[in-house]
Chain A
């Protein structure tokens, strides 16, 4: 095999990822449903890796979900994005790192629009001045937060307490990677491995000891579909897409699913619960679901962070079967306790999906 040629081709699927001084912006869905994943990311970046990460309290939603439901017009979202860029400039940073995949897609789309249609950028500049008197610059580097963890996957592996390995059998854990559509499907060159050869999560899994499952519907959408989820009448679209994926991955017996998109993580977790309750179907072992983890949560887990500080108790599909396979030391009695050990009661147990109280 001509390895030189292969390397050359693979170069087309790489992207430049800044190595420090990050401007961090949050995702509406991530911080609402998996806020511990955000905290884990910042802890890893700042404490484990010693990086400079700045977060402004002044940034707002990018309005991406509103844009993809035709509630927010294009000139409006361009100006909101420009304001977020202006805040970065004012803070003295150049490397923009959103934790949201919808936002990441919004930023790539808008930067591409400004490149091909400079009049849109000029118009946005005028709007921003008029509304806020602020000035913006485009980021020097735009990387999704999963790109950052991918970049430092080896450093994380060196400091890891656990591996993605079944402690009893010594075999690599079998992992389904699911990448949010707007990470690389719109602009493949902006994602590690593009849309065709997704590497951003696979790279982490393999470096941390696991094995990636290449199943038929690996690249299928989770089914968010924006208005297809938010409007109750359309929700069948959403759950049907996730079901198609679960049915496709089931024969490969995945130990867990890893995602890089806040929405996907929510849907793959909650639709397993809904399918169990609606149809009595469960996809994991012994009546459990397949655990669904964000990449920050997986990184925190192998580094030995406390599972309940990572926030696994906020998932509807239990993570404990995975913790047991990996031999993670944890205190089950603290799952539903408050920060100071307060008793907070326990959630109701679903009818069909097995759930540890």
Chain B
């Protein structure tokens, strides 16, 4: 048993996620990720069951663990009540902890997710905020969304939302006092250290790749990890 395996095994989601897989392959049959990527949750379960650190290290450095969508359809169907999706959660955590996430194209995307979702949580109190839903980032929002955004005050008022208003209601402004509490929770639970870790390891990799990282969502490194897709590398040949 290796050190990486011990770390995996200290994650309650790993403990809950795998109990002697019987290799039936049901998880792979119903997995949405297995349809579009070179991804096989049955094989993943076998790999972690070897308890071999070199196998686990390869997973942490590679593309495979980032293919899952965490829909957890596997948990429903497994006759042993295992959940490869939960194994994935533990592997991804360890990949970020060890800094190995920056060694894969899909792992490097973590910087964009931290800046899009993590920073939004602390700035607004929402994971997704109305003001951040630009068509340039999400063109499938469609022309109706552009119209909504252009007339947000009137359109949102008509459906009884409380856009950036005081008090309860949809899309309300979350007060500074509440944001301060959220901030403090992130500080004491390690959430802020986690953000810093993602930024620091990404900055190290950006330097190695000679791509400017800077702040925000328009830097060359952000655009690189947000849009780069070596499709042939990720699909089953």
Interface size on A, residues (CB 8 A): 95
Q: Which residues of A contact B116 (CB under 8 A)?
A: 230
The answer to whether B137 touches A225 (Cβ under 8 A) is: no
Instruction: Compute how far the CA of A29 lies from the CA of B178 in the bound complex, rounded to whole angstroms.
Output: 20
Q: Which residues of B contact A60 (CB under 8 A)?
A: 121, 125-126, 174, 178-179, 182
**Which residues of A, 31-84, contact B by the 8 Å Cβ criterion?**
31-32, 35-36, 38-39, 55-58, 60-61, 63-66, 68-76, 78-80, 83
Looking at the complex, which one of A66, A221, A231, A309 makes contact with B127 (CB distance below 8 Å)? A66
The answer to whether A185 touches B72 (Cβ under 8 A) is: yes
Any chain A CB within 8 A of the CB of B64?
no
Q: Which residues of B contact A308 (CB under 8 A)?
A: 158
Any chain A CB within 8 A of the CB of B216?
no
The answer to whether A350 touches B114 (Cβ under 8 A) is: no
Instruction: Compute how far the CA of A72 lies from the CA of B121 in the bound complex, rounded to whole angstroms.
Output: 10
Contact with A along B205-233 (1 / 0, CB 8 A): 00000000000000000000111110100
The answer to whether B147 touches A270 (Cβ under 8 A) is: no
Least Cβ–Cβ distance between B189 and chain A, in angstroms: 4
The answer to whether B159 touches A226 (Cβ under 8 A) is: no
Least Cβ–Cβ distance between A333 and chain B, in angstroms: 14
Instruction: Compute how far the CA of A129 lies from the CA of B230 in the bound complex, rounded to whole angstroms.
Output: 46
Max chain B Cβ within 10 angstroms of own Cβ: one of A79, A233, A308: A233
Least Cβ–Cβ distance between B15 and chain A, in angstroms: 8
Instruction: Compute how far the CA of A75 lies from the CA of B189 in the bound complex, rounded to whole angstroms.
Output: 6
**Which chain B residue shows the least CB distance to A65?**
B127
Any chain A CB within 8 A of the CB of B154?
yes
Interface size on B, residues (CB 8 A): 91
Q: Which residues of A contact B168 (CB under 8 A)?
A: 55-57
Any chain A CB within 8 A of the CB of B82?
no
Q: Which residues of A contact B159 (CB under 8 A)?
A: 35-36, 39, 309-311, 314
Any chain A CB within 8 A of the CB of B66?
yes
Which among A159-167, A203-211, A338-346 touches the partner chain? A338-346
Check A225/B70 contact, CB under 8 A, given A60-B182, A195-B76, A314-B155. yes
Any chain B CB within 8 A of the CB of A327?
no
Q: Which residues of A contact B194 (CB under 8 A)?
A: 71-73, 76
Instruction: Compute how far the CA of A272 lies from the CA of B85 in the bound complex, rounded to whole angstroms.
Output: 27
Any chain B CB within 8 A of the CB of A313?
yes
Q: Interface of B with A (CB < 8 Å)?
A: 11-13, 16, 32-33, 35-37, 66, 68-73, 75-76, 83, 89, 92-93, 96, 106, 109-110, 112-114, 116-118, 121, 125-130, 133, 137, 140-148, 150-151, 154-161, 166-172, 174-175, 177-179, 181-182, 184-191, 194-195, 198, 225-229, 231
* CB pairs A–B below 8 angstroms (29 shown): A29-B128, A32-B126, A32-B171, A35-B170, A57-B168, A57-B169, A61-B127, A66-B118, A70-B93, A73-B194, A116-B12, A131-B184, A131-B188, A181-B73, A186-B83, A221-B32, A221-B73, A224-B71, A225-B33, A225-B70, A226-B69, A231-B225, A234-B109, A237-B33, A240-B35, A244-B35, A274-B140, A338-B154, A342-B154
Q: What are the nearest 10 A-B pairs in CB distance?
A: A225-B69, A36-B159, A338-B154, A347-B147, A76-B191, A348-B143, A31-B170, A39-B160, A35-B170, A35-B161
Q: Interface of A with B (CB < 8 Å)?
A: 26, 28-29, 31-32, 35-36, 38-39, 55-58, 60-61, 63-66, 68-76, 78-80, 83, 105, 113, 116-117, 120, 127-128, 130-132, 181-182, 184-186, 188, 195-196, 219-221, 223-228, 230-237, 239-241, 244, 270-271, 273-274, 308-311, 313-316, 336, 338-339, 342, 344-350, 355
